[in-house]
């Protein structure tokens, strides 16, 4: 049996005392820092990356991976308790998770997040082990046309998340795509939109954009509602979910795991798209969609499972194709390169202990997370009782130090300040910032594949209709647009009739 | 939305997106356009800019014609003070050191809250400084001067 043989190699590598220790350290540090709002896995990993250079490649990767999903777990905890996304894929967890906390169900929300993540992690690990060789071949079929179509689909799905109008979400995606293009153009080396500043040649710092638009904007808009924050303290007696909540969470967790595993596999996908897509789906499927945004259990359970499944399976394109599906994966590639291992399909063959050891360590790490964190829930819950006037200066300072630590320079802080003002403007205009962030990440990749596709077809736009995969993805995106926009138009029309009457 | 009179949110958003799109398209013109088959660095941003400007106009028109959401009132002082606290930190951290940067940031930021008192601000700064030193400088080894000369 190939599967058991492969997993055997993996567990053998991951269960060595050394690797187990670093997996534990990674998960622990990741959770601790992920709990701190605004300091997500990207900044954490970037900070700790140099420390892993002296380790064995497998050990280093295992530790970084541990930080990654540890921080994700911590990020969800922060999102639920404080309504600040500890990192980008936890944005969705804020929506309903925090509302649950406000209703006094913080303990249940945390338990759902932990158990949902663990279930998703277990399933995703099995899926990776069973199908990764085959899935890698499917991913090989992706050309620039399919990449482009997939990104269009991913962005469209993400825009569904926007609370306000769909069209404003589309505009935000485009704004993000444009901001993502700042810096050196890959093909020609031209510096675009840098306004002559050398520090902009590598683009705008992602963490600065994220902190400005989410963490800092949230501080500004919440500062006056200080007293409202204090009433979110949950009763410590309700740490576990009720049977009813468990029942409500079960199906969304299964669906979220499926969505996450699939979307995470696609290059450019991963935890964030998965959680967005799962949230959108649960909202569509729900019998009471009006509960979403007001503490719907399904709106937390689905995305939590999806982002963990997506986070796990997003390692596949990185390990099999050498393509980073997100910033964290880019850092992982950097870590591999330091050890003179070029990520690609042959890693699975030449260094099976890296590929399978990493996968096995993910399951071990997730198990550690549940064991470690569920008993610690009372401690995290206590965080919510802290007055906001104590909390927000801490968030500000920790974020600033984090921004500074990325490259030991203050420029990202200035950018974060700028994006705070922009974020306030968006808040005023009721434009959801999440789609912007996604566009920002995908901007350069999308341009590259768009250009390459049209280069291959010699400028013929019809190439996007000549691949089955691309047609399927583009029409799915079109259907999403239709499904979302048509009811709006219909509602608008009927409302107009009411007005006339 | 129940309000039928106030349409400002879409109008403002539409204007913003139109201007930003137009600005992008305009700035893209300074880079090489190339052809569809061999695109220059200016092509894709120009495309995005035009698309954004068009969508911005649609949002603007929607704001003018249909009923829309009302803008939220931005708390002006917190917005200014929080942003200022970031700038103060960025400015002081390398010129005066972390100790001064954290203290100044906490004082400026806490001014935005109605719970501001000097005692609270100084106590918070002191606690934060110890935390920053232990976690960031000592454990994570971030090279930042506590007190710069």
Q: In this model, does residue A392 exceed pLDDT 90?
A: no
Residue A175: predicted pLDDT: 93
Cβ contact A32:A74 at 8 Å? yes
B136 interfaces chain A, CB cutoff of 8 Å: yes
Residue A164: predicted pLDDT: 61
Average pLDDT over chain A reads: 76
Q: A60-64, A82-86, A205-209, A416-420 — which one is most confidently predicted on average?
A: A416-420
Q: What is the Cα–Cα distance from A87 to A67, expressed in whole angstroms? A: 12
Q: In this model, does residue A418 exceed pLDDT 70?
A: yes
B103 pLDDT band, cuts 50/70/90, is very high
Q: In this model, does residue A111 exceed pLDDT 80?
A: yes
Q: In this model, does residue A343 exceed pLDDT 50?
A: yes
Q: Which residue has the higher pLDDT, A171 or A56?
A: A171
Whether the ipTM is more than 0.85: the answer is: yes
B3 pLDDT band, cuts 50/70/90, is very low
Q: In this model, does residue A16 exceed pLDDT 60?
A: yes
Residues A33-54 pLDDT 10s: 677 654 556 656 655 665 565 6
Residue B5: predicted pLDDT: 45
Residue A230: predicted pLDDT: 38
Contact flag B9-A429 (C-beta cutoff 8 Å): yes
Residue A40: predicted pLDDT: 56
Q: Is A242 helix (H, G, I), strand (E, B) or coil?
A: coil
Q: Which residue has the higher pLDDT, A318 or B144?
A: B144
Residues A179-190 pLDDT 10s: 988 988 877 778
Contact flag A175-B17 (C-beta cutoff 8 Å): yes
A401, A413, A491: best to mutate for the B interface, most B CBs within 10 A: A401
B54, B82, B118, B145: best to mutate for the A interface, most A CBs within 10 A: B82
Overall number of domains in chain A: 1
- What are the boundaries of each domain within chain B? 8-65, 76-139
Contact flag A413-B86 (C-beta cutoff 8 Å): yes
State phi, psi for A183 to the nearest 5 degrees: 120, -165
Q: Which residue has the higher pLDDT, A107 or B134?
A: B134
- Rounded average pLDDT over B60-75: 81
Which domain does A352 fall in, by range?
2-500
Q: What is the Cα–Cα distance from B59 to B103, expressed in whole angstroms? A: 44
Q: Give contacts of A496 with chain B, Cβ < 8 Å.
A: 66
State phi, psi for B39 to the nearest 5 degrees: -75, 140
Q: Work out the minimum CA distance from A366 to partner chain B, whole angstroms.
A: 24
Contact flag B75-A167 (C-beta cutoff 8 Å): no
pTM: 0.70
Q: Which residue has the higher pLDDT, B28 or A390?
A: B28
Burial A270-303 (b: 16+ CB within 10 A, else e): bbbbbbbbbbbbbbeebeeeebbeebbbbbbbbb
**Could you give the percent of chain A with pLDDT greater than 70?**
75
Chain B from 50 to 69: CB within 8 A of any A CB: 51-52, 55-56, 58-59, 62, 66-67, 69
B26 pLDDT band, cuts 50/70/90, is very high
CA A149 to chain centre: 20
Residue A226: predicted pLDDT: 52
Contact flag A421-B79 (C-beta cutoff 8 Å): yes
B102 interfaces chain A, CB cutoff of 8 Å: yes
Residue of A nearest to B7 (CA): A429
- Rounded average pLDDT over A314-326: 66
- Rounded average pLDDT over A314-324: 68
Residue A333: predicted pLDDT: 66
Q: Which of A63, A68, A80 is nearest to A295 (CA)?
A: A80
Dihedral, A152, A156, A157, A160 alpha carbons, nearest 10: 170
> How big is the CA angle at A161 (ends A155 and A166), to the nearest 5 degrees?
75
């Amino acid at each position: 049996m190939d599967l058991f043989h492969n997993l055997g190699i993996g567990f053998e590598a991951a269960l060595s005392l050394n690797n187990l220790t670093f997996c534990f350290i990674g998960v622990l540090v990741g959770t601790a820092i992920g709990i701190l709002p605004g300091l997500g896995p990207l900044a954490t990993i970037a900070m700790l990356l140099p420390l892993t250079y002296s380790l064995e490649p497998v050990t280093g990767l295992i530790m970084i991976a541990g930080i990654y999903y540890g921080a994700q777990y911590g990020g969800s905890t922060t999102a639920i308790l404080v309504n600040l996304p500890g990192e980008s894929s936890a944005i969705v967890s804020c929506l309903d998770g925090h509302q649950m906390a406000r209703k006094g169900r913080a303990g249940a929300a945390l338990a759902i997040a932990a158990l949902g993540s663990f279930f998703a992690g277990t399933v995703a690990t099995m899926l990776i082990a069973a199908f990764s060789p085959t899935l890698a071949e499917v991913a090989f079929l992706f050309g620039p046309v399919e990449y482009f179509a997939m990104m269009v689909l991913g962005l469209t799905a993400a825009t569904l998340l926007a609370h306000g109008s769909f069209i404003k979400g589309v505009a935000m995606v485009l704004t993000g795509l444009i901001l993502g293009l700042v810096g050196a153009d890959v093909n020609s080396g031209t510096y675009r939109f840098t306004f002559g500043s050398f520090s902009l040649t590598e683009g705008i710092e992602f963490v600065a954009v994220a902190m400005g638009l989410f963490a800092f904007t949230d501080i500004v808009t919440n500062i006056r509602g200080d007293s409202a924050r204090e009433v979110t303290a949950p009763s410590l007696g309700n740490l576990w979910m009720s049977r009813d909540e468990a029942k409500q969470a079960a199906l969304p967790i299964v669906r979220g795991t499926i969505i996450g595993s699939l979307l995470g596999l696609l290059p450019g996908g991963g935890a964030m798209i998965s959680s967005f897509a799962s949230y959108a789906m649960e909202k569509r499927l729900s019998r009471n969609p009006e509960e979403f945004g007001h503490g719907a259990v399904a709106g937390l359970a689905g995305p939590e499972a999806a982002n963990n499944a997506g986070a796990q399976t997003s390692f596949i394109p990185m390990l099999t194709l050498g393509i980073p599906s997100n910033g964290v994966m880019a850092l992982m590639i950097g870590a591999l390169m330091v050890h003179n291992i070029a990520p690609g399909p042959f890693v699975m063959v030449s260094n099976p202990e890296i590929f399978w050891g990493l996968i096995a360590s993910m399951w071990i790490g997730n198990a550690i997370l549940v064991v470690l964190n569920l008993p610690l829930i009372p401690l995290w819950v206590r965080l919510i009782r802290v007055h906001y006037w104590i909390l927000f200066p801490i968030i500000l300072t920790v974020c600033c130090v984090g921004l500074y630590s990325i490259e030991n320079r203050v420029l990202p802080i200035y950018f974060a300040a700028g994006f705070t003002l922009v974020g306030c403007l968006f808040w005023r205009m009721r434009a959801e910032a999440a789609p912007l962030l996604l566009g920002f990440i995908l901007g350069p990749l999308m341009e590259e594949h768009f250009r390459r596709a049209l280069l291959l077809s010699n400028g013929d736009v019809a190439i996007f209709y000549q691949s089955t995969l691309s047609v399927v993805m583009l029409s799915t995106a079109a259907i999403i647009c239709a499904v979302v926009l048509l009811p709006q138009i219909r509602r608008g029309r009927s409302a107009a009739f009411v007005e006339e009457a | 939305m129940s309000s039928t009179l106030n349409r400002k949110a879409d109008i403002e958003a539409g204007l913003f997106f139109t201007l930003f799109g137009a600005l992008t398209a305009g700035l893209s013109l300074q880079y090489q356009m190339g052809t569809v088959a061999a695109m220059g660095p200016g092509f894709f941003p120009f495309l995005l800019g035009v698309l954004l400007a068009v969508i911005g106009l649609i949002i603007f028109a929607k704001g003018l014609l249909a009923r829309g959401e009302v803008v939220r009132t931005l708390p002006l002082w917190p917005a200014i003070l929080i942003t200022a606290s970031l700038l103060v930190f960025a400015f002081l951290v390398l010129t005066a050191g972390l100790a001064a940067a954290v203290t100044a940031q906490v004082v400026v930021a806490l001014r935005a809250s109605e719970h501001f008192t000097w005692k609270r601000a100084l106590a918070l700064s002191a606690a934060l400084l110890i935390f920053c030193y232990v976690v960031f400088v000592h454990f994570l080894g971030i090279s930042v001067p506590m007190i710069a000369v």
